[in-house]
Structures are given as C-alpha cells and as structure tokens.
Structure 1
Amino acid sequence: MSNIHVSSHPCVRAKLSQLRSSSASPRDTKALVHEIATLLAADALASLTTVEVGESTTALGATYTVEEIAQKVVLVPILRSGLGMLEAFNGLLPTPSAIHHLGLFREKATLSPVEYYNNLPTSSSSTHPADIAIILDPVIATGGTAVAAIQTLKDWGVKKIVLCSILGAKAGVEHAAAEWPEGVQVLIGAVDPETNSKGMIVPGLGDIGDRLFLTIGK
C-alpha cells in the first residue's frame, strides 16, 4: 500500500536483529528501542516544513533568519510500550510538543482493543487540535489497537496521522494503513509475516512492554 513505508536503513535492520534476541538484557532492550525510534523519527519528521519568524544574531554578531517548524505536531504514545519511543521523537523536535497518552489493551479472548485511558483535550470546533499527530507504538500485531487509536485521533480532528512502529505483522500493518488511507502514513522498521493464535508477532520481539518495564511473567 502506498501509505506504508518500511525502513531500509541498515542500522535499523541490524539493531532490530539485536532487539529480537532473547539474550538482550532489559537495559539493552530499552536502549535499542530508543535508538531504533530515533532513526525512525528522522524519517517521520523529514516531511515537516519551516517558516521564517524573524531575525537574530550569531555569536559573531552576524544576522541570520530564524526558522521554526510550521506544523503543530503532537505525540501520542500508546501505553505502556509507546513510552519507550517517546524520548527519541521529543528529542529530535526543535521545540517540545504536546504529549497526549492513549491507554489501549487487547482483550485476551477476542484480541479486540479496549480503551482505558485518554487524555486528549477537548478541541474547539473553530480550530484543529494538530496538523500532525504521531502515534508511537513499538509493535503492530493484529492492527486493532492502531485502528482504534487512528479512529480516536481522526474524530478528535487532526489533519494527518503518522503511525510509527518498530515492527509489525503484515496483515496488521495493512489493516491499520487501510483505516484512513488519505490521512494516515505508516512508518515501520520491519514487517514480519504473521501472528500466532495469541496475537503475538512471529518471529517478533515478544511482549515488548513486558521487556521494557520488567513485568515478564505477570
């Protein structure tokens, strides 16, 4: 699908191989998620434009034109694991962006998404809440959680959504991309062929939220 972009960066591919490994320590897992997210953020933010807002002077006293990002960008990490990607994106943006958390989990029997937390502010009917909302979620398995997040943000009134993930299953990624093709861009580190009966990506990363927050075996 034309609105799906899979990273071809060699560092993403190599670091993803390290992240897949069962021998990766919790410290390594956190660092690798951050590093891969930083590489993906550079791609995700490359389409932004700047606008001239005035002039200033350099340390040598020379005058230069000051530029700022033209678009209003908000970051939307999906709890819990999306928090692992947040610092990478916020660190690349030249000024802090609003961060709006969405809490979604998959019901075990049906694998359907259930929303348990939403801190999107009430938007005014006369203004749009954001030009671009960037959803951060390390994995797209069945795509149900991503679709629920897209629907929520579309109803909220954002103009464009960038869904950024480290890894996805083919069917789940396509499911998410098809939800709002004209308004959603999917940027992903790699795509695996399938999910198992429990909705886990195969070969996958395991439960990345558990790996990040040391709750394996809960």
Structure 2
Amino acid sequence: MASTALLTPATERTSSYAPPSNPSLHVLDHPLYQHQLAHLRLAETDARAFRQRTRAAATVLCVEATRDLEVQAVQGQGPLATFEGDTVKERIGVVPILRAGLGLVDACLDLLPDDTSVLHIGLFREKKSLQPVEYYSKLPAQPTVDRVLIVDPLVATGGTAIACVHMIRDWGIPANKIKFLCLLGSEQGIQALLDACPGVEIWCGHIDKTLDGQGLMIPGLGDAGDRLFATLANH
C-alpha cells in the first residue's frame, strides 16, 4: 500500500468549503475515512492498494449509512447461557453502478446480512455529452428487496447517479428506501442528485468543489474504475 511518507503536513487548509445543508445529505466526518481518502488521492497508489483502501473507506461509509436499518429481536443459545439480541429485518439489495461500483460491494457484503442481494446496473458517461448511457441491468421483474444501497465511488456531474436512482424507483422501490453511497462527490453533482431525487438519502465521504471541462473532479482521485482494475494504460 502507498506509504504515508508520500503525504506531507499541510500548514493550512486551502479550502473552507461547507456542504449544502440538506437533511437528505450526509457527509462523513470520520478520521479513519479521511485517512483512507488521502491515500486514494495519491497518484502513486497502485491498483492493489487502491482496491484495499477503497474497501476500507467503503466499510466506514457502509457502517455510517446503515444506522437506521430495521431490526428484529432474537434469542439463542450461547456457549454459557441463552442470550437476546437483534438482527437486521429488512431485505437489502446492493446496486453497484458498473464497473467502478464493484469496488465498494465486498465491503458492504462483509457487514450486511447473508441474504443481501447484489443487483448490477451498467451505466457510463458519454465523453462528449457527459450524459448517462445504460448498457446493462440485472434487476428481477419485480422487487425482491425492501431497501436498496446504490454504490459508486464518484459522483461528478451526477448524471449516472440520477439515472440509476430513477431506474430503481421505476422498478418499484420508493425514494425513502433508497440510499446512494459514494466515496467522493462534486458540489455540482451532489446538488444535481439532491434536486433530481428528493427523498433519497445521499451518504458521501467528501465533497470536492471543482469540476473541470471534462466533468472530472478537482482534485478528485482520477478515474476510479481504471485505478481499481489497472486499466489506465488502455487510454
């Protein structure tokens, strides 16, 4: 994994950007998450380390985003005595937006109930128009889950995120049962998602203020899919 020695102490913050105040938006404020994000941003972080740190960051994100899952009381026999506890009651579906969303799936599955479904949706952003294009969907004919967690590392312009949320809503999942989890978002993209998808909770690790002319976040962390799957040389 990338060495912390590649990161140097900052004398002061160059940005005091504050996320928009909206009850549907949750931006993480956790030291362990910020530690992983700093290493994800490093150009020197190779694909293996990028995958490991993405998984670690996604673990923190998933824990924070699932605080309100409905539970049911249970009891069982332990090694020394009977016990009472809680288990998650809801049927949950994790929806990765292909392909970069795959990098967040295992972290979620490590934590969520064993019967959690993974429902793949393929969307990409057309390079010239920056509009989303659907190329794959593996949703059953009827909803098989009670709650959906959509996962994608980045929300830049917000187009693919919005398209995915609309697909899940059209499938039959109400907005208040959809959560969108991302490691990093742009101010513009997060606001677009809030405006287009009222009622959907957004859990974002951090928000960058700037997008460049190609719709890339600055400073961002580059193309998450290419960095996860070591395909940078293909461009």
In the superposition, the TM-score normalised over structure 1's length comes to 0.93
Equivalent residue, structure 2, for 1:71? 90
Identity of aligned residues (%): 37
| Residues 102-154 of structure 1: per-residue CA shift (max 9 Å, x gap) | 0000111101000000000001xxxx543210001000000000000000000
| 1:206 partnered with 2:222 | yes
| 1:149 partnered with 2:164 | yes
Equivalent residue, structure 2, for 1:57? 77
Range with greater deviation from structure 2 (129-138 or 73-82): 129-138
The Cα of 1:66 is off from its aligned counterpart by 5.4
Which has the larger strand fraction?
1
Per the alignment, in what secondary structure is the counterpart of residue 46 of structure 1? coil
Equivalent residue, structure 2, for 1:98? 117
Q: Report 1:37-56 matches (<5 A).
A: 37-53=58-74, 55-56=75-76
| Aligned counterparts of 1:129 and 1:195: Cα–Cα separation in 2 | 37
| 1:32 partnered with 2:47 | no
Per the alignment, in what secondary structure is the counterpart of residue 150 of structure 1? helix
Per the alignment, in what secondary structure is the counterpart of residue 148 of structure 2? strand
RMSD: 1.3
| Aligned counterparts of 1:158 and 1:176: Cα–Cα separation in 2 | 17
| 1:170 partnered with 2:190 | no
Per the alignment, in what secondary structure is the counterpart of residue 160 of structure 2? helix
| 1:21 partnered with 2:38 | no
Aligned length: 211
| Aligned counterparts of 1:38 and 1:96: Cα–Cα separation in 2 | 18
Per the alignment, in what secondary structure is the counterpart of residue 178 of structure 1? helix
The Cα of 1:63 is off from its aligned counterpart by 2.0
Whichever residue aligns with residue 231 of structure 2, its letter is T
Per the alignment, in what secondary structure is the counterpart of residue 64 of structure 1? strand
Per the alignment, in what secondary structure is the counterpart of residue 105 of structure 1? strand
| Aligned counterparts of 2:195 and 2:62: Cα–Cα separation in 1 | 22
Conserved 8 A contact 1:50-1:70 = yes
* Runs of 4+ in structure 1 over 6 Å off: none
| 1:111 partnered with 2:130 | yes
Per the alignment, in what secondary structure is the counterpart of residue 233 of structure 2? coil
Equivalent residue, structure 2, for 1:181? 198
Conserved 8 A contact 1:37-1:89 = yes
Equivalent residue, structure 1, for 2:147? 132
Conserved 8 A contact 1:162-1:187 = yes
Range with greater deviation from structure 2 (142-151 or 88-97): 88-97
Conserved 8 A contact 1:79-1:102 = yes
| 1:122 partnered with 2:137 | no
The Cα of 1:14 is off from its aligned counterpart by 1.8
Gaps of 5+ in 2: 1-21
| Aligned counterparts of 2:182 and 2:154: Cα–Cα separation in 1 | 6
Range with greater deviation from structure 2 (141-150 or 88-97): 88-97
Whichever residue aligns with residue 79 of structure 2, its letter is A
| Aligned counterparts of 1:104 and 1:44: Cα–Cα separation in 2 | 23
